[in-house]
């Protein structure tokens, strides 16, 4: 065989191999769809008890209903149950669902399970918190570092650039919370160089009881606090309860994260002075839509920033804020 002919055969073989590889994922998905009659998308949250995850679930259900696909919602109750979440990912991988939408509890420990799903040609979409891995297709989340900086800016404005502040951290390993905490510390240096950070080494844990206990410990260890930042719904609720127990609610400038009826009521009563509000409904919605786009070999975004708004008593009735806070979850949730 001549060199030219050999070169031509080599090119043709390479193109053939590329075509085979690129269709493996879609053929696997088509086989699974044929077995069950529709695409099956597993959404695995960090937890299932907080209102934040109900919003994620509702958004995912909306997308599933619009697209005519089956959504399977399953996750741990507590947001520190790494092993439970790992087992859930492994379970759905063994069940050969068509795609997995995952909010990883830990930035590192979920990576091997995601790699296993990828090896089985199951696309994985990461939402809410980042993962140290190259094995997922898309990342859909708040710009958490920016959100933390905006919280620092709000607190510094409230304190007029002076005073003592503390930050109650959430839980080690949570990429979203760590990014917010880092962003807050950066923002504090930028917007309040004269403000003194007196505590940033207390962790709340993942239950309301632990959060209240950690908040009380922080408050007891820091006298004459002027400002507080908390990076999650749980830490914000725990700190609010601790301040109320000590009769200090409203006396300390307080900026927190996420929303529920209790926190919004506290904002109206000047017990809270700012809440960073995410769009978890959009995370769930875009997660399912992106999964289906991948399965159908359609264009999709590798990174979607779902946005952040700092809500205050003054802008609580703005149209954009009310739309974000008043999503009808019951319309989409079956229970």
Each residue's pLDDT tens digit, 181-222: 999 999 999 999 999 999 999 999 999 999 999 999 999 999
Q: In the structure encoding, which two tokens stand for residue 92, read together?
A: 């759905």
The answer as to whether 129 is a domain residue is yes
Calpha distance 283→273 (Å, rounded): 26
Give pLDDT tens digits for 36-46: 569 999 999 99
54 plus 174 within the same structural domain: no
Q: Is the pTM of this model over 0.85?
A: yes
8 A C-beta contact, residue 47 and residue 88: no
The answer as to whether 311 is a domain residue is no
Give pLDDT tens digits for 216-250: 999 999 989 999 999 999 999 999 999 999 999 99
258 plus 268 within the same structural domain: yes
157 plus 189 within the same structural domain: yes
138 plus 181 within the same structural domain: no
The answer as to whether 319 is a domain residue is no
Tell me how many domains the chain contains: 2
Give pLDDT tens digits for 151-170: 999 999 999 999 999 999 99
155 plus 234 within the same structural domain: yes
Last residue of a domain, one of 227, 257, 277: 277
Where residue 151 sits, what CATH number does that domain have?
Answer: 3.40.50.2300
86 plus 175 within the same structural domain: no
14 plus 133 within the same structural domain: yes
Give pLDDT tens digits for 98-155: 999 999 999 999 999 999 999 999 999 999 999 999 999 999 999 999 999 999 999 9
Please calculate the CA angle 290-258-209 and round it to the nearest 5 degrees. 120
What integer pLDDT is reported at residue 21 of this predicted model?
40
42 plus 132 within the same structural domain: yes
100 plus 80 within the same structural domain: yes
43 plus 72 within the same structural domain: yes
Residues 6+ apart with CB under 8 A from 114: 89, 100, 102, 104, 124, 126, 131, 133, 135, 136
270 plus 294 within the same structural domain: no
The whole domain housing 170 covers: 144-277
């Amino acid at each position: 065989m001549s060199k030219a002919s050999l070169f031509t055969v080599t090119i043709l073989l390479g193109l053939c191999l590329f075509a085979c590889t690129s269709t493996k994922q879609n053929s696997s998905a088509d086989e699974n769809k044929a077995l069950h009659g529709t695409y099956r998308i597993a959404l695995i949250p960090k937890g299932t008890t907080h209102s934040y995850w109900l919003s994620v679930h509702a958004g995912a259900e909306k997308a599933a209903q619009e697209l005519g696909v089956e959504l399977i919602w399953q996750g741990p109750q507590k947001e520190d149950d790494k092993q439970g979440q790992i087992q859930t990912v492994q379970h759905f991988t063994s069940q050969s669902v068509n795609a997995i939408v995952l909010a990883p509890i830990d930035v590192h420990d979920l990576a091997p399970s995601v790699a296993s799903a990828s090896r089985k040609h199951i696309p994985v979409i990461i939402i809410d918190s980042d993962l140290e891995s190259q094995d997922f297709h898309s990342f859909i989340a708040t710009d958490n570092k920016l959100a933390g900086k905006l919280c620092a800016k709000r607190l510094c404005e409230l304190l007029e650039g002076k005073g003592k502040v503390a930050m109650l951290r959430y839980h080690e390993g949570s990429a979203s919370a760590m990014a917010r905490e880092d962003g807050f510390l950066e923002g504090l240096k930028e917007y309040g160089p004269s403000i003194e950070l007196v505590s940033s080494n207390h962790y709340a844990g993942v239950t309301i009881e632990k959060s209240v206990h950690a908040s009380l410990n922080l408050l007891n260890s820091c006298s004459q606090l002027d400002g507080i930042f908390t990076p999650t719904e749980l830490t914000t609720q725990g700190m609010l309860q601790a301040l109320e127990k000590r009769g200090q609610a409203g006396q300390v400038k307080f900026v927190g994260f996420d929303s529920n009826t209790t926190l919004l009521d506290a904002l109206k009563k000047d017990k809270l002075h700012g809440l960073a509000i995410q769009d978890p409904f959009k995370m769930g919605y875009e997660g399912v839509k992106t999964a289906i786009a991948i399965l159908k070999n359609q264009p999709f975004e590798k990174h979607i920033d779902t946005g952040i708004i700092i809500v205050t008593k003054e802008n609580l009735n703005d149209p954009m804020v009310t739309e974000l806070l008043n999503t009808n979850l019951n319309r989409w949730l079956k229970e």
